[in-house]
Structure formats: C-alpha cells, structure tokens
Chains A and B, each alone.
Chain A
Amino acid sequence: MVMPVMFSSHVFSEDSDYNMKVGVTEVSQSIFELHMLIFWICVGIGVIVFSIMFWSLFKYRKSKGAVAADFDDNLWLEIGWTVAATVVLIWMAVPATQVMVEAYDDAEGEINILITGHQWKWHYEYLEDEVGFFSNLATSQEQINGEVPKGEFYLREVDEPLVIPTNTRIRFLITGNDVIHSWWVPDFAVKQDAIPGFINTAWTNVPEPGIFRGACTELCGIKHAFMPVVVRAVEREEFDAYIAEKVTLAEAERLLTSKNWTKEELMERGESFYATNCSACHQAGGQGIPPVFPALDGSQIALSDSARHIQILMEGVQGSAMAAFGESYSEVDIASVITYTRQAWSNGKNGDGVIVTPKDIVDYKNRIDL
C-alpha cells in the first residue's frame, strides 16, 4: 500500500525534491541564488568549526594518554574570531539587502488582482474588469480518505485556477475574510499573509506560460491543508480573451437574477453549489460534524424558518466558522442553495417546503441597505 506512494515522486522531476525551487521570475531566481550563497557560507563555517572540534576530540583523547593543557583564555584569538564572524555576516547582509530591495516594490501593476483568503478557499478579483471567482480544492474527499487512488496533483489542484498574462507586471492585493491565511507560490517567490482588515501587496512578472502550484501557509483552521493555490500564466492575447469571456459570463449571471426560477432549476444549481462550498463542513448528507458544524438535516431553521435561513447565509454566524456568503456569491447561488437544503434529505418531507428565489435575496439586500 505504501509502495506506489513511495515511488511516485519521480513524476515531479521538474521540481527538486529536496531544495528550494529556482522558480520562473527574476526575483525567485535571485532569491534562490542568495539562498545557495548563504547555504554554502554556512557549510564552509561548519566544515572549519567541526573539523577543529572532531580533530581535537580525536587527538586529545584521554584514552591515548593526552594531558590537559592549562590555558583558559586568549584575548587576541577571541577578538579575532569575533571580528571574523562580523565580517562574514556583512558578507551575507550585502546581497541580502540588494535582493530585498529588488523584491520589495509596491508600485501599481499593469494588472491588479485582489486575493481574498476565505476558510478554506481563495477568491480572486480582477480589479480593472470587476470580475472575480472562487478557487476551490478539486481533489475529491474519496482520494483524501484513501478510497480511490490519489491523482498526480493530489491536493495541488483547484476547480478554477487564477489566470495571469505573461510578461506583465502584476500586483497582488492580498487580504483575508475571516482568519489569517497566507498566499504562496514558490515559483514566483511570493508569500504574503492574507490578514482581515489589512491589504498587503506583492508583485510578479512571469516570463513564460505555465501552471504554477502553491499553498496556504498560515494555519487557518481545519482545512488549512486543503486550500491550494494554482496560477496559470498564459500569453497576453489568450489572457485578454479569457477576461472578455469572464466579463460576458458575469453579465449573463447578473441577468439570471431577474429570471423566474423553477424549483427544479434551483435544486439542481443548489446541489452543485452545496457540494462545492458547504459539504466540507456540513457534510454531503447534511449531518454536519456537531458541535462544531451543526447538522442541516432536521435543523429547525431549515425546516420552518426561511427568514433566519436567509439571514445566516447572508451575514454568517458571529463566533463560528459560518462565513457571510452574501458579499461573495450571487443572489442566484444563495437562493438555490437555501432552496436545496430546505428540500434535500429528510427536510423536504418534514419541513414547510418554502422555495427561496433570487428575488427574495434581492429583497433582503434592499431591506438591509435601508
């Protein structure tokens, strides 16, 4: 059972299995060179210190009749090695400062992308074009539980990667929605904390197309290991076409709100939304993981209190892991998932069967705005 896993690593031979990634950007390559320089200086010091130590341990063994000398200080020696240590540190600090100044630059980018960390997924928004989307883990729970074989990109794949153009200065504006996350793409040497109430910046300029995989690196709760980052860099023309399509789709999505939805349409859409966004905590069967994640199946709110149901989806629950979905998702998504959870499992036959439509969500928003 262990064997296929143990020998699978050659699949990723383009990445080193034991050293820092060189990466694809100028900054990541400078950082790699700096890392290796500091590493080799440390190795050099280590070789000198450990050689003297182990040679002394070997040469002055009592079992070989060594007699201890009687000295316990030497001022010039002590001054000498203090000065030597200082010189070595300056030797390290100069290139470190140069690379830091190169990497640290918060000027505006040609393209500015707002990255928001959520428990437990990333939201990307292209600020110039006002389109955005969530990026969720695509690895199935069955793979995680070991019920089916693990795929090549186990835990490193998402349903929708962030797409960026090559040879373009891109600025990331990074923030958090709930707890602190951290957005890391090793190939760009970009790692920046996503902190609620703060907007941090980072930038990159990727010279070649490719798919670059990263991770969340600040403990953010139960699914910390399950919110990878995937960035796809494409040529500028392809990127422009991609954005144009995104804008069209977003427009179509907005029109959907005014459409008259049937129960079946809402159920179908709600089921897929639930599977992507809700089932990680509330579970596929709606049984939740009490007491941290309450059950939806048989919940009084899902059975008979549609007003509170809408409110929870829109505002979240203070002091719990339940986030406010109102700002992040369309009216259609919110309405369909509420309708779905009121009909699914045993709720359909035991509850009031209320169908919540996108218009109800719009009405709710209008009331709150007053």
Chain B
Amino acid sequence: MSTVVETHDHGHHGPAKGLSRWLFTTNHKDIGTLYLWFSFIMLFIGGSMAMVIRAELFQPGLQIVQPEFFNQMTTNHGLIMVFGVIMPAFVGLANWMLPMQIGAPDMALPRLNNLSFWLLPMAFGILISTLFMPEGGPNFGWTFYAPLSTTYAPSTVNFFIFSVHIMGVSSILGSINIITTIFNMRAPGMTLMKMPLFVWSWLITAYLLIAVMPVLAGVVTMMLMDINFGTSFFNAAGGGDPVLFQHVFWFFGHPEVYIMILPAFGIVSHIIETFSRKPIFGYSSMVYAMASIAILSFVVWAHHMFTVGMPLAGELFFMYSTMLIAIPTGVKVFNWVATMFRGSISFETPMLFSIAFVALFTIGGFSGIMLAIVPADFQYHDTYFVVAHFHYVLVPGALFGIIAGAYYWLPKWTGNMYDETLGKLHFWLTFISVNVTFFPMHFVGLAGMPRRYPDYALQFADFNALISVGAFVFGLTQLLFLFIVIKAIKSGKKAKPEVWEGAGDLGLEWTLSSPPPYHSFTVQPQLK
C-alpha cells in the first residue's frame, strides 16, 4: 500500500537550529546532552551548598551561617546531589549510550523522552526557589522524617512535595522508556545475555525505579494530606505513627541507594575490560550479582532504623539480610580484580577513575558491613561515620563512575580527544582531596560527632578543619573538569571510531564514527 515516495535524504537530516533544537528535541543524543549538562550544573549548585556547610564547620562555634540556614543547606545539598546530579547523570549516559550499545536508532519513546527531561528543570526550579522565600526552604534533612517535615515544617514544604512528585514522574517515564527500548530495539542477534553490562545495569535500575518511585510519591502525598487536609498518617496526636513514615521512606530509600550505584557498576566494567585489554571476567555472574543486589534491596530497608525500637527478631532479620548483600557485591569486586589480572593494562584517565572506584567503593562497602552489625550500629548511627560511609559509596563510588564514563565516552560524543594531561591532573587532585575530605569523617564519627550539627564540641576541631580543607580542594578541582570538557568539545586531537585501542570489538558504539551521526544505526547492525 505504500505509495509515498521518499524525497528527502535522511542521512543529512540534522538538528534544528537555536533554542528550539533543545526545547523540542526528540533525539536521544540531544536529550542525553541535556541531562548531562543539567546534572553538571546541579553538581555545582549542590556543591556550593556543601562548601557553605564545610565553611561553617571549619571551626567550632557559629561563624558564617545560622543553624536555620545550615539545615536548609544540608537538606538541599542531599536532595540536589541525589535527585539532581547522580540520577540525571546516569539517565543522560543511558540516553546517549543505550541506543548506540544495542544498535538502535533512538529511544523507543522519543517524545516521552523529551518530557522526562524537561520536567526536571521545573522540579528543581521549584525546589531551589523555596530558598528565597521568607520562611526558607526545606530544613528537615534529605530524609525528611515526620513530624519534623509535617507538623513542624515551614509552609514551603508544599513546594518541596510538589517538586518531589515531578521528579518521580520524570524518573518513572524515563524508566518506562529505557525498559521499552532495551526489550524491543536490540539489534538482531543480541540476546539478553549478550547485552553490554551497562545496558544490563540500566535494565535492572529501571525496574527498581518503577518499583519504588511510586512509594516515594505515596509517602510525600501522605505528608501533603497530613499538612493540609487534616489526616494523621504520621501524627501521633491523631492516632498516627511517625515510624510508619520511616518504613515507607526507606522502602523507597534503600532501592534508591542501588539505583545510584548499579549503572556505575556497568560503566566501570566496560572501562576495566577496555584498558585491561581483556574481556570482563565472569560476565554472567556480574549480571546475576546485579540482579541479586536489586532483589535484596527490597528486604533490607530497616537497617536505616536500628535505633527506632524494633523487636529483637526484626533487628536480627535486617542485620542478616543486609550482610547478605556483601556476597554479590564482593563477587563484583573480585570479578573486576580478576579482569585486571593477567591483562595488558594502561592508565588513561577513565581507567584511573575506575581503579579508584573499585578501591574506594570497597572501603565504602566495608563501612557498610560494619554499619549492618546492629549492636555496633547503636554507636555509629547518625554520626559522621554514616556520613563517611555514604559519601564513600556516592562520591568515589557513583560520581567517580559517572566521571569515568564521561572521560571514556567524551571522544565518542565530541569527536575530539580530551586533554590527557589535564585529565590525569584532575584525577589526582580529585583522588587526594576526596580522601582528605571523607576519610577523617570515619574518625570524628567514631569519636562521637553526630551528623547534621552546625556546631560541635572542641575535640572534633582538628579533623573538621582538615575535612573542610579537603572539601574546598575537591570543589575547586571540579572546575578543572568543566574546563576539560569544554576544551574537548571545542578542540582536540580527532578521535578514531574505536577511540581506545582494541575497543572496536567491545561494543557497537565503537563501530560508529566519532562523533556519531545525528541519527545512528538507521539500519540495524547484525551481531555475529
């Protein structure tokens, strides 16, 4: 029945010009770029808040900000880093790389893709605007425990709830798109167990998002009802239960933790095999390990709540289930090490960040096992030891994974090699400062400094001064990363299609030109 004659040449169909290219784009590469720049900007906003926190904590006493503003900084720093930096950066990488890794021309649902992105600036615009309102922004911590976040919250909490709802919609739409793309648009011959590990990591992550984002939406809706419509879900005076909030929140929150690390597992797996010039060790156990971590993440949530007063059996159950997670996580670390073993290893910037990822994420894993031990957790809970733990898994963990991925794929995206010398400088400054910042937090935490404190007793002063110095160096160093990225976009040695020696055999993305055409894989590739 097809009688329409194709008249224009699709091969030269490029992007629209000007602002409308970005507003109306349905192209996975453009949307990936938008996500990545958005998360980069949010990294500097959330990072500036961390700088305010560290400036205040440089010395005991109140010098720079008052506790009210300090609490707004810790809360918004956490919210922005989790929802505005790590998650959008992973979605950006997924948008760029999934279609190119599975040999698809684009994402399955391109208009939905545009909507998922453009919801995010709305959500964060609303959230950040509360900081300029007379009552100030959210000040109850990124975990927003009721009733501090309901009965005792500033009225701007309603903006916060709306903003969380929008973020949730964005994440769910993005996940639907990713799952649909992976299941329907793989190149012929790419069976599930032949998919690149980054694709696997995102498939699992997208299921986690679809499972738990509605739980987050549910818990903030219950807050909204308590605050405005007279219900008492979390209000003890009305027969409600403040602990219910924590159960529902962490039922979302713990899978969320793995949402923020699984895609990094995928990225560093590719990088380690590329620069070890040796295929990843134990591909199928890598897939099963990620799936096990995802499933276990639904039965460990109350390990965040060991001090709320659970029955003994509950405390023990959540201790054992949490310890189990160490097994698949350990398997992944062993596999990465086994991939390096008897390889032919070179140390380009993405590899340096990936090696640091394996080492420092493992340290975060060790403190995770320590925190799982219930009686010991009574002493660690809500101290800087916990702050050290989750920063080790999120900064040299998730963020290093993202930075490593950015260096690894930047020549593919821009067609230009980044400046390797500056990249290595960026790595070493970041690696040293991240440890100066977060390692001493273990010590102040064990010695007894609680988290979310704008002021502290004198015996914590030395370490806090050191931590602040590390944090300022870390923050400033990321401006160097911005410079390196812009430099690579504007100029640099031209990149070959395979970019990295031998990478041509490792994935479909390396068979495309660098940069790839605006529409790639318009004809599906065949897998051998």
Chain B contacts for A319, CB-based, 8 A = 151
Residue-wise interface mask of A (71-99) relative to B, using a CB-CB cutoff of 8 A (1 in contact, 0 not): 11110011001100110010011001101
CB distance from B323 to the nearest CB of A (A): 5
Interface pick from A51-59, A240-248, A259-267: A51-59
**Interface residue ranges of B271-294 to A (CB < 8 Å):** 276-285
Complex: chain B residue closest to A105, CB-CB: B312
Contacts of B281 in A (CB 8 A): 71-74
A292–B141 CA distance with the chains assembled, in angstroms? 18
The CA-CA distance from A99 to B316 in the complex, in Å, is 11
Question: Assuming A81-B331, A86-B327, A89-B326, is B341 touching A68 (CB within 8 A)?
Answer: no
Q: How far is the CA of A319 from the CA of B443 in the complex (A)?
A: 38
- The complex places the Cα of A216 from the Cα of B136 at a distance, in Å, of 24
- Cα distance, A100 to B313, chains bound together (Å): 10
Pair A15/B450 contact, Cβ less than 8 Å: no
For the complex, give the distance between the alpha carbons of A18 and B466 in Å: 14
Query: How many chain A residues have a CB neighbour from B under 8 Å?
Result: 109
Q: Per-residue CB proximity of A1-33 to B under 8 Å, as 1/0?
A: 110011011011001111111000001001100
Stretch at the interface among B158-166, B201-209, B372-380, B481-489: B372-380
Within 8 A of A (CB), among B303-336: 307-309, 312, 315-316, 319-320, 323-324, 326-327, 330-331, 333-334
Contact call B316/A100, Cβ cutoff below 8 A: yes
A318 to B235, CA, bound (A): 12
Q: Does A333 make an interface contact (CB < 8 A)?
A: no
Instruction: Mark interface residues in B440-473 (1 if CB within 8 Å of A CB, else 0).
Output: 0001101110111111111101110100000000
**With A61-B345, A73-B283, A150-B458: A190-B60 Cβ-Cβ less than 8 Å:** no
The distance in angstroms between the C-alpha atoms of A83 and B73, with both chains bound, is 45
Neighbour of A197 across the interface among B242, B285, B319, B342, CB < 8 A:
B242
Asked if A195 CB lies within 8 Å of chain B CBs, one says yes
Which residues of chain B come closer than 8 Å to A39, judged between CB atoms? 370
Mask, B379-397, CB within 8 Å of A = 1, is 1011100000000000000
Q: Given known contacts A92-B369, A97-B316, A291-B135, is B309 in contact with A15 (CB within 8 Å)?
A: no
Against A, the Cβ 8 Å flags (1 = close, 0 = not) of B106-148 are 0000000000000000000000000000111001110001011
Interface check A67, CB cutoff 8 A: yes
16 residue pairs A–B, Cβ–Cβ below 8 Å: A9-B458, A11-B458, A17-B462, A21-B379, A56-B345, A72-B280, A72-B282, A81-B330, A97-B316, A97-B319, A156-B457, A178-B151, A178-B152, A182-B381, A191-B379, A226-B67
- Find out whether the CB atom of A89 lies under 8 angstroms from the CB atom of B382: no
Given contacts A18-B447, A66-B343, contact A96 B461 (CB under 8 A): no
Given the complex of chains A and B, what is the CA–CA distance between A96 and B303 in angstroms? 14
Residues from chain B with a CB closer than 8 A to the CB of A214 are: 448
> Of B36-44, B216-224, B358-366, which binds chain A?
B358-366
Find out whether the CB atom of A56 lies under 8 angstroms from the CB atom of B378.
no
Residues of B contacting A81 in the complex (Cβ-Cβ under 8 angstroms): 330-331, 334
Q: Is the CB of A67 within 8 A of B344?
A: yes
In the A-B complex, list the 6 residue pairs whose CB atoms are closest, starting with the nearest.
A197-B236, A18-B443, A200-B309, A42-B366, A225-B453, A69-B342
